[in-house]
């Protein structure tokens, strides 16, 4: 069910939600958190679809704040249009879409405060452009967790520098979340004999993949080995992380993703075999981040300390 509320107020939206709860019973109950999505017009539906899918694991209220940069100008008449989605149109959540312009768009915090679930954690997610300091932004101040996505910024590699400078406990980024499968596979390989130190590490990926840089920083921190990473132009077949090579006394371990979703694992004295390493979807990344509402200390260490252990790319290859 979709309910349109043109030229409305936060108070009117709250009353509509109460009416829906009274008429539909459990429709607006049983939520464990509030997810605030800050996006520009045109980016709402993809984010809502991911939130709806994730809500089956984490029932929640979703508040989408959609504002066009520049529309907070006082010369533009203040207006707030809203849309409420419940039932089959909202997965296991209730979705409130706020489209604001003029003076109504200047104070995003006031727009959502009256719609937050009482006594429930708040998570703010910027699927697209993120504020320079998420933790001190209007929607970031009210959240226990703040999620950005470096890969969706105009300069994905440069975005890591901003994340490093602006990091506050509770910050998260999907560039790190996308590494979960790679980190698990590499840890499983190194957890098998022979238990030898890794002497050299090489990570390759596309230039639009900040996850490649983060993986190199994480391996540098964990292994203390000489680390090199290479960033190549992205193409339709090779996006994200391409592969990792670990060298130790007994030989070379290679985990190379030379086709979408599948990586080839080569180890000394063992037959080659394929490993499923698909690029994680928005839904998977969002559901993963919502599983924990406390600060991710490892991510904090990698972004604040690990990045400094590897130099910026020079001639596509960096050694640290």
Give DSSP secondary structure letters for 186-215: HHHHHTSSS-----EEEEEEETT-HHHHHH
Q: What is the mean pLDDT of the chain?
A: 90
* Per-residue pLDDT band at 231 (split at 50, 70, 90): very high
Which is more confidently placed, 167 or 17?
167
Which is more confidently placed, 41 or 27?
41
CB 198 within 8 A of CB 246: yes
Q: Whole-model pTM?
A: 0.92
Which strand ranges, in their side-by-side order, compose the sheet holding 79-85? 2-5, 79-85, 93-101, 60-66, 33-39, 122-125, 145-148, 171-173
Mean pLDDT to the nearest integer, 136-144: 96
Looking at 3.30.1490, 3.30.230, 2.60.120, 3.30.360, the CATH number of the domain 180-319 comes to 3.30.360
pLDDT digits (tens, 9 = 90+) for 261-291: 999 999 999 999 999 999 999 999 999 999 9
Mean pLDDT to the nearest integer, 163-177: 97
Q: Where are the alpha helices (DSSP H) in 128-209?
A: 156-166, 174-177, 180-190
Is the pLDDT confidence value at 225 over 90? Answer: yes
Take residue 243 and report the two structure tokens written for it. 């592969």
CB 10 within 8 A of CB 18: no
Is the pLDDT confidence value at 314 over 60? Answer: no
* Per-residue pLDDT band at 313 (split at 50, 70, 90): low
pLDDT digits (tens, 9 = 90+) for 66-117: 987 666 666 778 899 999 998 776 666 789 999 998 888 888 999 999 999 9
Is the pLDDT confidence value at 26 over 60? Answer: no
pLDDT at 311: 66
Contacts of 15 (CB under 8 A, 6+ apart): none
Whole-number Å distance between alpha carbons of 284 and 57? 11
Whole-number Å distance between alpha carbons of 74 and 72? 6
pLDDT at 24: 66
């Amino acid at each position: 069910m979709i309910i349109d509320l043109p030229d409305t107020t936060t108070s009117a939206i709250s009353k509509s939600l109460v009416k829906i709860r009274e008429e539909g019973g459990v429709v607006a109950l049983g939520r464990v958190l509030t997810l605030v999505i800050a996006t520009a017009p045109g980016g709402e539906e993809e984010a809502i679809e991911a939130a709806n899918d994730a809500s089956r694991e984490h029932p929640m209220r979703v508040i989408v704040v959609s504002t066009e940069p520049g529309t907070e100008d006082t010369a533009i008449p203040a207006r707030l249009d809203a849309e409420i989605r419940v039932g089959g149109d909202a997965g296991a959540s209730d979705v409130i879409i706020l489209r604001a312009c003029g003076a109504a768009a200047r104070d995003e915090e006031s727009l959502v405060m009256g719609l937050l679930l009482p006594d429930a954690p708040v998570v703010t997610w910027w699927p697209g452009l993120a504020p320079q300091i998420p933790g001190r932004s209007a929607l970031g101040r009210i959240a226990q967790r703040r999620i950005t996505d470096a890969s969706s910024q105009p300069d994905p590699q440069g975005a890591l520098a901003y994340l490093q400078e602006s990091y506050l406990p509770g910050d998260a980024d999907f560039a790190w979340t996308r590494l979960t499968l790679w980190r698990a596979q590499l840890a499983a390989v190194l957890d098998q004999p022979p238990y030898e130190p890794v002497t050299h590490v090489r990570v390759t990926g596309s230039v639009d993949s900040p996850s490649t840089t983060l993986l190199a920083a994480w391996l540098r921190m964990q292994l203390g080995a000489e680390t090199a990473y290479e960033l190549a132009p992205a193409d339709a077949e090779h996006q994200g992380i391409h592969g990792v090579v670990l060298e130790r006394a007994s030989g070379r371990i290679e985990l190379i993703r030379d086709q979408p979703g599948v990586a080839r694992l080569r180890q000394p004295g063992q037959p080659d075999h394929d490993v499923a390493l698909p690029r994680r979807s928005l839904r998977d990344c969002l559901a993963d981040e919502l599983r924990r509402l406390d600060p991710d200390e490892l991510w904090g260490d990698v972004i604040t300390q690990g990045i400094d252990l590897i130099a910026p790319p020079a001639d596509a290859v960096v050694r640290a």
